[in-house]
Amino acid sequence: MEELLYDLIDWTKAIKIINSEHDNPHSLLGAHVTEKGILINAFIPTAVHIAVKITGSGQVHSMVCKDKEGFFSVIIPGNKVIPYTLIVTYDNDFTEEIRDPYSFEPVIDPMDLTRFAGGIHYNIYDKLGAHRMEINGVNGILFAVWAPNAVRISVVGNFNNWDGRRHAMRRLYDSGIFELFIPNLKSGEIYKYEIKIKGGLIVLKADPYANQAELRPNSASIVCNLNEYEWQDGTWIQERAGKQYESEPMSVYEVHLGSWKKPPVKDGREFYNYRELAPMLAGYVKDMGYTHIELLPVMEHPFDGSWGYQVTGYYAPTARYGTPSDFMYFMDYMHAQGIGVILDWVPAHFPRDTFGLANFDGTCLYEHKDPRQGAHPHWGTLIYNYGRPQVSNFLLANALFWIEKYHADGIRMDAVASMLYLDYGKKAGEWVANIYGGNENLEAMELLKHLNSIFKKRKDGSLIIAEESTAWPEVTGDVKEGGLGFDLKWNLGWMNDFTNYMKCDPLFRKGRHGELTFSMIYAYSEKFMLVLSHDEVVHGKGSMINKMPGSTEQKFANLRVAYGFMMSHPGKKLLFMGQDFAQYAEWNEAKSLDWDLLNENQNGKLNRYVKELNKLYRSYKAFYQLDYDERGFEWISCMDADHSIIVFIRKTLILEETILVVCNFTPVVYKNFLIGVPFAGKYKEIFNSDKVIYGGNGNTNPRQKQSKKLESDGRDQSISLTVPPLGIAVFTCTPVIPN
């Protein structure tokens, strides 16, 4: 028997397995039919005895130890592989019966490998990562990872004492994917991949496709089943697919979950759980009248101070606030309350943490090798190699993953400009031109077009939004016509101009009047979303209230007219948390919002004002139905820089739904101020930011105005009204039909 076994064993392979250097251990381990019978080999370090138990007959065959490191073999009569288990006794006298992980055929289909190699496997997340499944009646977990340049990869965790010799994976053909099915492993196990790279160095890596991760500072991946949660939002998803977002109201509340509200200090916890946050946040958002929330990245990240924008676990919601099922509950609850959820997503760069994607298999696998292409010098992060199909597939599938698995209503893509420009944030000599000598990242452009095309084909109502900070053309243009294909683009040009204008002392605003009106020159070049986001209230920029000039009373009045103008301007809206009750302090991710300010007179009134503003916005179609149609907006007066007053109308295709908006950006009350109106009719004030209930002084227009045939602002008809100081007044317009 000894000599027969020796002759049957391929010792070249055996030595590589013993030395943890074989990338296809299944070719030797497990059961193999030979001319002499069925050869079964097992390599289990620290085992002192192993026996093979035939599943059908119960017969037991002792294996022979062929190497003291734990290599055992036995030859069994027969000409067909049959099911068996291994009875293993270890050097601590512990004995267990296990299914041999090397007794299973490959699981991932060759077609999956082909699609992934071509960058078009849009649900590759169902194949790579760790997934519970049943094979030949045996339950277990299939692990799969892409690391083409690895010498050997093993799955390690508590279940095998983090011993990389025990569960070496098999390389699937020339795909660069390694897989291993480990029987009887259950959800909740922590694991990493132990990768031996060329040169012999061993590194431990978290699973790029892991669905759950440990709470920082720990960094292991966790086996997780995403198919156990029972969703209740079928009606929401169905109705969403039938909506036309361009003509729907969209007022977004931007939220960082960890600092929106924190548990009392006495609780001894850093954060609320997703399930605890859901009713609290939904209650506030619903009461305030927002249509959506947008979450700063909830994907797993190691550093709190990155706010989630330096991701290490792209397929795992952060453990800071709970488990994947907890986050599913959060999303489900929001939908039950009629609130859409947009998730921030970061495909522009990733951090250098050694357990993450950086230098994943000993080579620059996800990033470019040349640091001029693969690194952001100012951010200290790495740039994806978008031209590598498997890398682009990782990102394409990830965006779709959050729509499919977590029912997200939209993805807001961060830092798109840094993807589009090869020289973004770089000096001369720090970047490499494209094949045409330009600074456009052609591979990133293709990725964005590809992704947006897929989103459009889904026709499920989910949106994809770009934060693009330059004047790159046709960001929301049709891909078929050369555009990038996004649904919406953040209007950062408007944000910069408008905040600069609002920070200026009203005495000098007339000299900057163009900053107020310039946005309408290009308003229809893209499908814009107007934003006052988290980026505007950090890094010494001050909170929104503290950007405003003047006395405390004037600061609040300035903020009211600013929010009013934003809400009535064409485009969807976004406001960062805390700014709707005028938090004084800059946002700090380590602290809760200053909710006590709601008890303060001015702050509480401003909060009520924003609530009423959202209600106004959602109540009148003119504010949103033709956001991206030039017929939806018309200037009445945009040249009155001396008074810093602008007047415009918002329209639908129905004349009776016209809304008149008057904004005054000086602290002066104008009585009997004459403005032109679009047609003869009655004009009724329905909203005024200077109401006492909002913290103003009551300079309103309580009586309905009848237009007169008196020319003003180039119009035949006009009305005389009280224009509130640092205020906005909104009127419905009812045309009078001549006899």
Helix (H) or strand (E) holding 641: none
Helix (H) or strand (E) holding 288: helix 274-288
Q: Do 722 and 700 form a contact (C-beta atoms < 8 A)?
A: yes
Q: Which residues of 207-243 are buried (b: 16+ CB within 10 A; e: fewer)?
A: bbbbbbbbeeeebbbbbbbbeebeeebeebeeebeee
Q: Which residues of 259-295 are buried (b: 16+ CB within 10 A; e: fewer)?
A: bbbbeeeeeeeebbbbbbbbeebbebbeebbbbbbbb
Query: Is 481 an active-site residue?
Result: no
Q: Phi, psi at residue 503, to the nearest 5°?
A: -75, -20
**Exposed / middle / buried, residue 615 (Cβ in 10 Å: 0-12, 13-18, 19+):** middle
Query: Is 467 an active-site residue?
Result: yes
Q: Quote the CA–CA distance of 219 and 362 in Å, as a whole number.
A: 19
Helix (H) or strand (E) holding 602: helix 601-619
Q: Quote the CA–CA distance of 603 and 251 in Å, as a whole number.
A: 20
Q: Phi, psi at residue 465, to the nearest 5°?
A: -120, 135
The closest of 391, 319, 384 to 128, measured between CA atoms, is 391
Reduced to 3 states, what is the DSSP secondary structure of residue 104?
A: coil
In sequence order, the β-bridge partners of residue 152 are 196
Q: Quote the CA–CA distance of 592 and 256 in Å, as a whole number.
A: 10
In sequence order, the β-bridge partners of residue 531 are 574
Q: Do 699 and 722 form a contact (C-beta atoms < 8 A)?
A: yes
Q: Quote the CA–CA distance of 221 and 157 in Å, as a whole number.
A: 9
Catalytic-labelled residue, pool 194, 300, 414, 487: 414
User: What is the chain's percent helix, strand, coil content, to nearest 5?
Assistant: 30, 25, 45
Pairing of strands 71-76, 37-43: antiparallel
The closest of 303, 324, 321 to 312, measured between CA atoms, is 303
Catalytic-labelled residue, pool 179, 467, 535, 580: 467
Q: Quote the CA–CA distance of 109 and 101 in Å, as a whole number.
A: 18
For residue 31, the number of C-alpha atoms closer than 13 Å in the C-beta half-sphere is: 23
Rounded to 5 degrees, what angle do the CA atoms 681, 683, 685 make? 170
Q: Which residues are catalytic?
A: 414, 467
